Structures are given as structure tokens and as C-alpha cells.
Amino acid sequence: MSDLPDRPDFTAGLRILARLCRPALRPMLVSTGLAIVSTALELVPFVAFFLAIRDLLDGSADGGRFLVLALVVAVASTVRFVTWSWALKISHLAAFDVMADLRLEIARTLAQLPLGWFSRRRSGKVQRALTDDVQRLEVLLAHAIPELASALVFWVAAAIWLLAVDWVLALAALGLAPVAFFVQWLGMHDSSVHVRRITAAADDLHGRAAEVLRHPPVVRLFDRFGTITGPIEAAIDEAVAADEAWSRRYAGTGTGFRVLITADFVIALPVGVWLLARGSTDAPSLVLVLLLGAGILQPLERAYRLGFRLSWISYAGATVDAMLQETALPEPREPQPPQIGPVEFDRVTFAHEPPTPTVSDVSFRAEVGEVTALVGPSGAGKSTLARLLSRFWDVDDGSIRIGGVDVRDLHSSDLFAQLALVFQDPFLFSDTVAGNLRVGRADATDEELTAACRAARIHDTIAALPNGYDTHIGAGGIDLSGGERQRLTIARAMLRNAPIVVLDEATAMADPDSEAAIQEAISELVAGRTLIVIAHRLRTVASADRIVVVDDGRVVEIGRHGDLVDAGGTYATMWNDMRIAESLHLGDGGHVGEGRRVDERTGGGS
């Protein structure tokens, strides 16, 4: 997601809630009103105790009056707990509704973002926004509003009462509270910088830990010198350092806050005794001030705890707000109907990080019913071109057309219906084989699943599994080999029956046998479709109808295999380098160069 400001403002969370809380305005007002009533009832025991002490000291006390006061306190306490419970119940129900709406809005936003947005971000950050950050905003609505309102009302009501009883004693008992909250503000000032550092460290730690946990065999076999686990140890150290810095920053002011709000007794008692000795106050007033000063600590503690969390809430609000402000994939005002036809790249230029272009002035044509291969060195821009076709990003200049229609003039749902992409790292869900296949088309029949898998040369493998198509293949298809997973994703693409299929390094993870099966599947796949194959192994695309050679983001050659070999250009150099790499082996006596004979014109071997 976009970078957040160094000091995200608390108003970011408020802006989101103000926009989403309108349906919950009435229940939140009711909740706040009940919280205020409950807080007002907290004063009743103090009033009763004050009246009882006064009656005892002036000799007017009697058992009947004390019984009435006890009953009043019992009823008030019961009503207070009931109203407080209802206040929190209503605020929580309202918060749950608002948070559900907020998560749905985030989900709708994510569904409208270009696919390239996700490729540049760790999934953990998006997940945190949907879970932890939204949950922190829930605290604001479910707890902060009723609890802060109640704390404020209690303090104001107590202050007014104490000032009416004895203003000097009241100042002695309550004067340190504003100072305490000023000290807390000093502790919270710029604390969002620390919160940002803690969150960034946690994101980095979670991301690195997830990578290590995904590949434990690699870690076990190759991490002898800590090359893999070293970064995660550094991430742990940074997370600890961030937490320690935050603790040091807040420990002093937090302690100061608690000392100040509990110091009213230290000040009020000697001042009260002095006033009592002078005859400027009476004993009931002094007892009331001391008791009420102690009773006010609980709501002040609630306000303190919520204030401590405001920095986290403000950062969460800024994070969610930034996500909701991301630019959606532009949709045409008047979408054009999709057309079946060739895919044309016309002087396409695009930069991941302007101003240096990733691909520049790229033009080529992929015909229906033909295989068009994109080849070139790693980092040449081949995968970027495939992703531009599916609008992971939009081109900076030029156009990409399908059947003569610019992809930007198609509604995204129509465009995606035209495409089936098979990526280098085939992703499979933790589900059955059939469940993974039906991701391509939910209403596919069992016969259609079987037909697609036969065409992808994977049916026999599936049939040999314990439960056939109902076999659970585990997260990421870990029970299948790389080539088998790849063929399963090809079957999924076939089942989708899209007119345009893009295979991005489809044989990269395949062993020789799987590679041959994938080649046969590609032959089945091309019938009636536009097939674009991105390949690193040149032999897999030597029979393509058209080979587009990309180097440093530009198209340097286009042609068939034999013509490109004869031309002696970039492709011929790559082909010869491949032949040399294949022929190098250590035979008897360590001779080099006794590899299989390669036919340069056809790409075949003997």
C-alpha cells in the first residue's frame, strides 16, 4: 500500500469512522447516554456516605434514615451495573456492524485494484489491515466513546460537587489531574513514529518467518552459515529494539501520570487538616473530598489506558485510510464488447519505476490458433509484457489490443474472462484436485474435468492418487511434483476455455518427462486459441509459430526458429549458448563436449 506519513494523524481513523458510522449513530448516542447515566450513578454511594457522616457528626442520625440510604445505594449500584452493561452491549453491536461494513469496503477496494498492486506488497500487510488494524478501530467505537464519555462526566460532576462543597479542598484534590493528562500527552506526542517502527518491524519479521516456514528443507540443508536465518534474526533484533524504544519513551511519562493522579490524597489531606484546624471547613467535607478523590481514580485510569492506545488506533486508521484511497483499476465509461482476434502490442512502453522504462516501444502480434513465444535474458521484460496484457498495470504509452479493441476499453470482468494465465510458480489451494480445477470454472462437470486433465497429460497421475479427483493435495499442492502441479494448472486453464492463454515459464519447474508432457499439453491448448508462451528454455518453443526476442525491454528480433538461427542475432547467440550448455558433460576420462547432436534448424536432437 502507499507509504504512510511519519506521523499519521488520529483524525484519519475518525474520518473513516465518521463516514461509516452514520447507520450506527443512534445506537452510539444511546450507548453514550447509558454510559453517562451509569457514571452519574457512581456518585450515589459517595453522596449517601457524605450524608451519613454528616448526620453522625451533628447527632441527627437514626437507623431508618441509614436504612433508606443503604437501599438507595443498593438500587443505584444495581441500576448502574445494568445500564453500563447495556451501554457496552449496544456499543459493541454497533461497532461490530461498522467493522463488518469497513472490512467489506476494504474487500471491495481490493477487488477493484490492479493486480500489479498486490505483486508489489507482502500479503501480510494486507491481512493486517483487514484484521489487526480494523480491530483497533473497533476499540475506538466499542470502548473509547462510552468509556471516555463516562470518565469525563464522572470527573466533571465530581469537580462541580466538590467545588460546591469546598472549593479550596476541591482544587487540592483535583488540581493535579490536568497536569497528569498533560504529562500523558507529552508521552504520546510523536509516539506514532514508534508505533510505525514497531509495526514495520513486525511486518518484516512475519514476512521473513513465513518464507522460512514455507521452505524448511532448504533452511535445513543450506543454512549452515546463517545466510537464510540471518535476516530473520536481524528482524527479531529490530522488533525487540523497537519495543524497547517505545517502552523507554513511555515508561517515564506513564509512571508520572499514575503518580500525579494518586497524589491528590498527599495534597488534600494536609490542606484539609489545616483548613479544619482553622475552622474553614468541616469534617464531613474533608472525608468527602478524600473519598471522592480516591473514587475518581478508576475512570481516570480508564481514560489513561484508552489514551495509551490512541497512537495505535491513529496508525491503524491511517493504514486503513491509505488502503481505501488506493486508485482502482480504471474502468471505461462506455465498455466495448470483447472481440475474438489477435493480440497486438503496439509501441508499448511501461516503467515500474519511472523514468527508466521496463519495456520500451514494444510491438508484435500474436495470432489466433498460433503459438507466440517471448524469449530473452532474465529481466528482459517478458513477464512484464504478459502482465500488461492482463492489466496488472496499464501501459504508459502505446496500446494493447485484443481483436482490435484496446484492453483499457474492455470492462475488467470481460478482459479477465478472455484470459487464462499459468504462472511459473503454479499456485494450488489446500483443497481436492477437483476443487482446484473448478477454480477455473465452478460449474464444470466431472466429465469436463477429466477431459481437461487428459488434454493436459495429468489424468493418469490423478487417477493413481488414493481418492482420484477427490484427493486432498495439501497447501500449494505439496503432494505433487513441480511438473505435475504445472500440468494441473494448465488443465485448469483449459477448463476455463478462455480464448487467450498465457504460459509464463510453464516448464521452469518440470523434469524432462514432465516437460515433454507439458509440450503435448501446449499442443492441445493452442487449438482455436491465442497462445503466448514465455520461455527460458529455448528448446520448448523452437516449434512456435512466432518467436519474439526481447532484450533490455525492447523487441530485437521476430521470426521462426530456423530463420532466427540463420540471422545470427541475439536469438542465435542464445541458441548456441544453450547448445554448449547442454553438450558440456564429464564422460569417461573427463572429456568435454560429447553431448547429443542438435539440429539447429528444427531444434530437435539425436
* 39 vs 223, higher pLDDT: 39
- How much is the mean pLDDT over the chain? 80
Dihedral sign of CA atoms 91, 97, 101, 103 in order: positive
pLDDT of residue 347: 96
pLDDT tens for 506-516 read 665 556 666 67
d(CA 208, CA 231): 8
Evaluate whether 398 touches 408 at the Cβ level (below 8 Å). no
pLDDT tens for 196-221 read 777 777 777 777 776 676 666 666 66
pLDDT of residue 477: 53
With 0.85 as the threshold, say if the pTM is over it.
no
**Which among 542, 583, 587, 575 is positioned nearest to 561, based on CA atoms?**
542
In sequence order, which ranges of 296-371 are alpha helices (DSSP H)? 297-324
pLDDT of residue 475: 57
d(CA 387, CA 115): 9
The dihedral formed by the CA atoms of 561, 563, 568 and 570, expressed in degrees to the nearest 10: -50
Evaluate whether 374 touches 546 at the Cβ level (below 8 Å). no
Locus of grid cell 519474439 = 548
Domain residue extents for the chain = 11-324, 343-428+486-559, 561-606
Locus of grid cell 513465444 = 373
pLDDT tens for 287-324 read 777 777 766 666 777 777 776 676 677 777 777 777 88
pLDDT of residue 403: 95
pLDDT of residue 588: 43
* 441 vs 221, higher pLDDT: 441
d(CA 156, CA 342): 75
d(CA 266, CA 277): 17
What count of other Cβ atoms lies within 10 Å of the Cβ of residue 287?
16
The backbone torsions φ and ψ at residue 390, rounded to the nearest 5 degrees and listed phi first, read -95, 15
Per CATH, the architecture of 343-428+486-559 is what? Answer: 3-Layer(aba) Sandwich (3.40)
Amino acid at 18: A
Evaluate whether 157 touches 43 at the Cβ level (below 8 Å). yes
pLDDT of residue 595: 36
Evaluate whether 383 touches 503 at the Cβ level (below 8 Å). no
Amino acid at 370: E
Evaluate whether 318 touches 326 at the Cβ level (below 8 Å). no
The class (CATH top level) of 11-324 is mainly alpha
pLDDT tens for 273-290 read 888 888 877 787 777 777
